[in-house]
A and B are shown apart, each in its own frame.
Chain A
Amino acid sequence: GQNIDQPTEMTATEGAIVQINCTYQTSGFNGLFWYQQHAGEAPTFLSYNVLDGLEEKGRFSSFLSRSKGYSYLLLKELQMKDSASYLCAVRGGNYQLIWGAGTKLIIKP
């Protein structure tokens, strides 16, 4: 079957760094996506990895290891507005997105 696992909830402190992990098992692989979703809003795109390695975009970075079926999203210099759910999604062999359940990130002052 197809499966994406990520932690349900994480807590971090304002100004700190947090790493959200995602492991996946899918039929085929055509890229991994990270999205941010604030409560009651639509998801917004953060990053896309299709090759192994690190993609950096400002305070956010995303890493992919295809051989390990593993990705992480790294958030630096955390701000209160980063409190949100972070969704990991894999585009499988049929080009449809398979979504993880999301990680709720709580930022404390």
Chain B
Amino acid sequence: SAVISQKPSRDICQRGTSLTIQCQVDSQVTMMFWYRQQPGQSLTLIATANQGSEATYESGFVIDKFPISRPNLTFSTLTVSNMSPEDSSIYLCSVWASEGSEAFFGQGTRLTVV
């Protein structure tokens, strides 16, 4: 299993500012995934963070808006830049169990942009 510590758990931010979300995993993992979940909707993959290389972004998400760092195999950050109210959402990081039979999630960051 994997335990993921994600912070902050929630924040209220002013539009135009940026917020950095951190995820710390208790074991080394090759890939970490960042999701967004807008109110009442399912999870949408933002990007896959690989150690030592640039993150791979999904359609509709760009590095300038959602820069990601992955300095080592246990840690990653996602920054939500130049925020607008449309960025209000829950952001989740996730990793696979080593055998691939379960995806583990951080506790989530509930972001409100005012």
A residues within 8 Å of B by Cβ? 30-31, 33, 40-45, 48, 87, 89, 91, 95-97, 99-102
Closest to B93 in A: A42
- B69 near A: Cβ within 8 Å? no
The smallest C-beta distance from B64 to any residue of chain A, in angstroms, reads 23
Output the least CB separation between A30 and chain B (Å): 8
The size class of the interface chain B forms with chain A is: 10 to 19
B interface, CB within 8 angstroms of A:
33, 41-45, 48, 90, 92, 100-108, 110
Q: From the candidates B92, B102, B104, name the one contacting A48 in the complex (CB within 8 A).
A: B102
Query: Contact between A97 and B103 (Cβ–Cβ < 8 Å)?
Result: yes
A31-B101 CB under 8 A given contacts A87-B43, A96-B48, A97-B45: yes
A50 to chain B, nearest CB (A): 8
Q: How far is the CA of A42 from the CA of B91 in the complex (A)?
A: 9
Cβ–Cβ < 8 Å partners of B45 in chain A = 96-97
Q: Which residue of A lies closest to B104 (CB)?
A: A45
Q: How far is the CA of A43 from the CA of B42 in the complex (A)?
A: 10
Residue numbers in A under 8 Å from B107 (CB-CB): 41-42
